[in-house]
Structure 1
Amino acid sequence: MTSAATPTFPATALDQPFGRLADLIATHAAVAPGRVAIIDGDRRLTYRDLDTAMNRVAASLQRDSIGPGGSIAIAAGTSADYVVLFMGALRAGVAVAPLAPSSTHDALVTMMTDSGAARIFLDADNAAALGDRRLPAPVTAFADFAAWLSADSPAPVDVTPDMPFNIIYSSGTTGAPKGIVQSHAMRWAHVGRGTMLGYAADTVTLVSTPLYSNTTLVSVIPTLANGGALVLMAKFDARRALELSVAHGVTHAMLVPVQYRRIMELPDFDAFDLSRYQMKFATSAPFAAALKADVLARWPGGLVEYFGMTEGGGSCILIAHLYPDKLHTVGQPAPGHDIRLIDDAGVEVPPGTTGEIVGHSPAMMTGYHGQPGKTADARWTSPDGKVFIRTGDVGRFDDEGFLTLLDRKKDMIISGGFNIYPSDLEAVLAQAPGVVEGAVVGVPSDAWGETPVGFVVMRDGADPEGARAWTNERLGKTQRLAAIVALVALPRSAIGKVLKRELRDGWRG
């Protein structure tokens, strides 16, 4: 029996139509002040520590005349201070633009300017990399973070559902960055979904992807909302991920497919005690069915794959441990999500037909920051007036409503008038003798317009031409690989997506 002097977390706090993550953290600090919220190497922050630090951040922003409607930008690696800064800004009603440090210097400055950030926060590596470059707002270095913090208490602010929570940039390595504005209402929808996926006060979440990524925030937000603990990895390492999982009794993890592959390839994987795991998640890149099956067979706990976009719109969820015969799919539309397929003319296609995936859900971006034209281009409106987000992905539903993801629309190869989906070829290539991983892109061809070329990482001593011959024997005549290129590693983004543009640009056939 709980005494009157021992407060309990109110069950209604997570059930309300709208609430604030910062308020939930304050409630956890009152209910269980000594509970660990963040583990960052040897550093531990309890919920009392986190709440107090958030107040200092909010007060510091208010001192600097940055309040509701304003924004800050962060370019830094994963750390406890990063989490404190992000959450403290939210308490002040200030939107956060978390930027990818891997971006070019010009792209970083462009994103800082586009976000309208009133202050920029840089860790030591990014401060050194940017050097004397002129930035669009005052800079606070993480080395000076403690000195920047105010000792005052912040003034309360009113945060409404439509206010921006964060601005996440969809590009920063190539092309023009687009700032995806996500509202507090959108993020609150993620909080509500968390309890259905097993997030609770005893949750321990491994954070192995960068904090600027929506992939990461999808697991960080429900962990803190429910009073769980975050175990931060500044840089992913497969063995270290398992060591941290054992040391801290990790129960939840969001990993991208390449991280799963690297972990499962460890020769002593089965020696690690991962019995505390309750749920593992995956998103951001294609997840091979064979790899999903291996994770299900050897790694305790459930496995859930998400398919969706940072922009929001519709998402699909594959509860892999419940549907082991559907591992080739990305699952079914999430509850309350409307996923449809359209053709090149923007007309919805009949069941069983391939088309571009569009989606509508309660969690959709407000738009691209300062880019109404691109916002309009990203939307499709159904005949009944409902607004959907265009994914640029091509897929097909089966008879049970499971979505098979074929490819990015822009990656489809048109060879001799035939549509070729690289994912079909990659599924065969991945099984070829000696192939560790592979990707297929279309390259120019005088004879066919485009022709498929494979790029592979081979095991030591394996023959790439032998892998091409093996693959082509199992492909249709129009699908066969014209060439194969062996690489030390496939080029990837920080969250594991294969950068096919780099493969195409580097082709010298």
Structure 2
Amino acid sequence: MTAISNSADVAFASIGDQIRRLAVEQGEHAALICEGKTYCYADLDAMIDRCASALQRDGIAPEDVVAICAEASPWYVAVFLGALRAGAAVAPLAPSSHPDSLAGMIENAGARVLFLDADVRTALKRAEKPPTVRSVRLDAQGDAEDTTGIDAWLAPRGAVPRHVDVRPEWAFNIIYSSGTTGLPKGIVQSHAMRFAYAQRSVDRGYGPQAVTLISTPLYSNTTLVSFFPTLALGGTVVLMPKFDTKGYLALAQQYRATHTMLVPVQYQRLMAEPDFDRYDLSNFVSKSCTSAPFSARVKADVVRRWPGSLTEFYGMTEGGASCELCVELHPDKLHTVGRVMTGHEMRLIDPAGNELPRDSIGEIVGRSPTMMTGYYRQPEKTAEAEWYDRDGQRFIRTGDIGRFDEDGFLVLMDRKKDMIISGGFNVYPSDLEQVLLQHPQIAEAAVVGVTSERWGETPVAFVTLHAEATVDASELAGWANERLGKMQRLAEVVIADSLPRSAIGKVLKRELRESFKPSRAY
């Protein structure tokens, strides 16, 4: 991938204007495929116009906010793009959120209208303070009890909205963090940022010939960094609302997918699929991965068995700096997340905010042309996320601990909040997890710190096993502790059927800590 600065030579155009142009230039070309139905660019453009016209009819003005909380569908896509064409910002929300958290995000965003489905509507009724915002059901025709169905809400066929001259600095979307305490933070990303992402994607093969298989949620930035470049550059999105391994592989083969962005647990499950090698995946050009730790073993297996390049990206929705690892080019660096991308800058700082040498271990901070504007209506949280160097340059704090090796590749140690302090020593769960994953019977591993009277904190491992495994928890603890340093040793190993994960594959360590019941005092 090239530097973001490449987009400087291309005049800014909003995604709404880009799709309108493509509807003229390649109107019959497939834009979106979902559950067997194909929508060409002319179809999608008309759907977007109906949504934008309806929003304008209802008084939605440029820079207002529209919220969407539903399962992915063609009308979800059209509403998202219709809001952008009308100049509004979109807050795509996770349906899996706690009802009170969801209500809080809707209030924080100041959403003028909420697009939802039946499950979300039911969940919001359980909120302590249900939102009073007008609702439109994406999965209902006509009026649906106390909400309006999408068909009844839409402007008539052939409707054309008033043109809005979208400015690059306007908010494109507000992505809410998956925070586990308090109100999730709304990360504001601009039209200019999304435009830059799309332009730099040309060098990864995005264009009219691209067929991108999307199987992660549309509320996630992980999804949007491949979804919007595909449409902005005239490619085809194959939308898979719910992921399963055989369904994914069948879609990839049927539509000759060329691009995909998956999270590590999806790669892990796909590579473990017994029928994986029976599918024709020869059209793949580029595969990407982000959002969670990606084991070196699985990376190597993907490169060996799945055609096309594999690139791991490390970064934050907030922006800052990013790293990329072109996996097939650096087989000796699979334990890293790659080098800092061109045009980006990363530094390391200590807990007091002092800059550290690059060979130190410290918190990662970064800056680039793709930094968030800030957290929506939370200036104090924005300030907490920022770090300024001696020259007054603004960086975004990642909350991750890492170090650079001698070749400039970034090695992640752990999330700052997940680091375990045992007997005054810093213990990095990722180090322990990598050791556990070397055991042939362990499929997944997550290490958390639990309270210890003797040490303050002590590490406990949660693991899942391969189907044929026969080992027990005490054997695993003994095996691992033989390979760990004295201060790293596990107090206990818990064998679980599965690890709790977010919708984009991140292990929810808070839930593991809360569920742990010690077998003895530590």
TM-score norm. by structure 2 comes to 0.93
Is 1:120 the counterpart of 2:114? The answer is yes
Q: Is the 8 A contact 1:456 1:464 kept in 2?
A: no
* Distance apart, 1:270 and its partner CA: 1.0
SS in 1 for 2:63: coil
Letter matched to residue 370 of structure 2: A
The alignment-based identity, stated in percent, is 56
d(CA) in 1 for partners of 2:477, 2:180: 31
Any idea what the Cα deviations from partners look like across 1:439-482, whole Å, max 9, x if unmatched?
00111111111111100112343322212211111111111111
After superposition, the Cα gap between the structure-2 partners of 1:24 and 1:14, relative to the gap in structure 1 and judged at 3 Å, is farther
Q: What is the 5 A alignment of 1:1-80? A: 15-80=9-74
d(CA) in 1 for partners of 2:26, 2:243: 30
Q: What is the 5 A alignment of 1:85-104? A: 85-104=79-98
Letter matched to residue 365 of structure 1: M
Mean Cα displacement is larger for which, 184-193 or 204-213? 184-193
SS in 1 for 2:355: coil
Structure 2 partner of 1:436: 443
Letter matched to residue 145 of structure 1: I
Structure 2 partner of 1:111: 105
d(CA) in 2 for partners of 1:310, 1:386: 20
Is 1:459 the counterpart of 2:455? The answer is no
d(CA) in 1 for partners of 2:11, 2:203: 16
Q: What is the 5 A alignment of 1:305-344? A: 305-344=312-351
* Distance apart, 1:280 and its partner CA: 0.4
Structure 2 partner of 1:475: 484
* Distance apart, 1:94 and its partner CA: 0.5
After superposition, the Cα gap between the structure-2 partners of 1:97 and 1:284, relative to the gap in structure 1 and judged at 3 Å, is same
Letter matched to residue 488 of structure 1: D
* Distance apart, 1:132 and its partner CA: 7.9
Picking from 486, 493, 498, the partner of 2:495 is 486
d(CA) in 2 for partners of 1:91, 1:293: 42
Structure 2 partner of 1:248: 255
Structure 1 partner of 2:220: 213
Q: What is the 5 A alignment of 1:139-218? A: 139-142=135-138, 143=140, 144-151=149-156, 152-171=159-178, 174-218=181-225
* Distance apart, 1:266 and its partner CA: 0.9
Structure 1 partner of 2:417: 410
Q: Is the 8 A contact 2:105 2:183 kept in 1?
A: no
The gaps in structure 2 that reach 5 residues or longer are 1-5, 141-148
Mean Cα displacement is larger for which, 436-445 or 318-327? 318-327
TM-score norm. by structure 1 comes to 0.96
d(CA) in 2 for partners of 1:420, 1:173: 22
Picking from 131, 138, 141, the partner of 2:134 is 138
After superposition, the Cα gap between the structure-2 partners of 1:352 and 1:17, relative to the gap in structure 1 and judged at 3 Å, is farther
Structure 1 partner of 2:291: 284
Q: Is the 8 A contact 1:257 1:282 kept in 2?
A: yes
After superposition, the Cα gap between the structure-2 partners of 1:341 and 1:17, relative to the gap in structure 1 and judged at 3 Å, is farther
Q: Is the 8 A contact 1:203 1:223 kept in 2?
A: yes
Letter matched to residue 73 of structure 1: A
* Distance apart, 1:137 and its partner CA: 1.1
* Distance apart, 1:69 and its partner CA: 1.1
d(CA) in 2 for partners of 1:485, 1:503: 10
Letter matched to residue 303 of structure 2: L
Any idea what the Cα deviations from partners look like across 1:322-346, whole Å, max 9, x if unmatched?
2121111111111111111111111
* Distance apart, 1:124 and its partner CA: 2.2
Structure 2 partner of 1:83: 77
* Distance apart, 1:131 and its partner CA: 3.9
Is 1:233 the counterpart of 2:229? The answer is no
Q: Is the 8 A contact 2:211 2:255 kept in 1?
A: yes
Letter matched to residue 51 of structure 1: D
d(CA) in 1 for partners of 2:452, 2:308: 47
Picking from 401, 405, 408, the partner of 1:398 is 405
Q: Is the 8 A contact 1:357 1:394 kept in 2?
A: yes
* Distance apart, 1:172 and its partner CA: 5.9
Q: Is the 8 A contact 2:16 2:84 kept in 1?
A: yes
Q: Is the 8 A contact 2:70 2:76 kept in 1?
A: yes
- Aligned Cα root-mean-square deviation (Å): 1.4
SS in 1 for 2:307: coil
* Distance apart, 1:295 and its partner CA: 0.4
Picking from 362, 379, 385, the partner of 2:386 is 379
SS in 2 for 1:127: helix
* Distance apart, 1:505 and its partner CA: 1.3
d(CA) in 1 for partners of 2:501, 2:364: 24
Any idea what the Cα deviations from partners look like across 1:265-305, whole Å, max 9, x if unmatched?
01121111100001100000000111100100010000011
Q: Is the 8 A contact 2:253 2:279 kept in 1?
A: yes
Is 1:424 the counterpart of 2:428? The answer is no
Mean Cα displacement is larger for which, 232-241 or 257-266? 232-241
Letter matched to residue 102 of structure 2: L
d(CA) in 1 for partners of 2:223, 2:396: 21
SS in 2 for 1:150: coil
* Distance apart, 1:433 and its partner CA: 3.6
Q: Is the 8 A contact 2:7 2:196 kept in 1?
A: no
Q: Is the 8 A contact 2:103 2:124 kept in 1?
A: no
d(CA) in 2 for partners of 1:174, 1:434: 34
Structure 2 partner of 1:5: none
* Distance apart, 1:18 and its partner CA: 2.2
Q: Is the 8 A contact 2:102 2:124 kept in 1?
A: no
* Distance apart, 1:161 and its partner CA: 1.2
d(CA) in 2 for partners of 1:176, 1:113: 11
Is 1:258 the counterpart of 2:265? The answer is yes
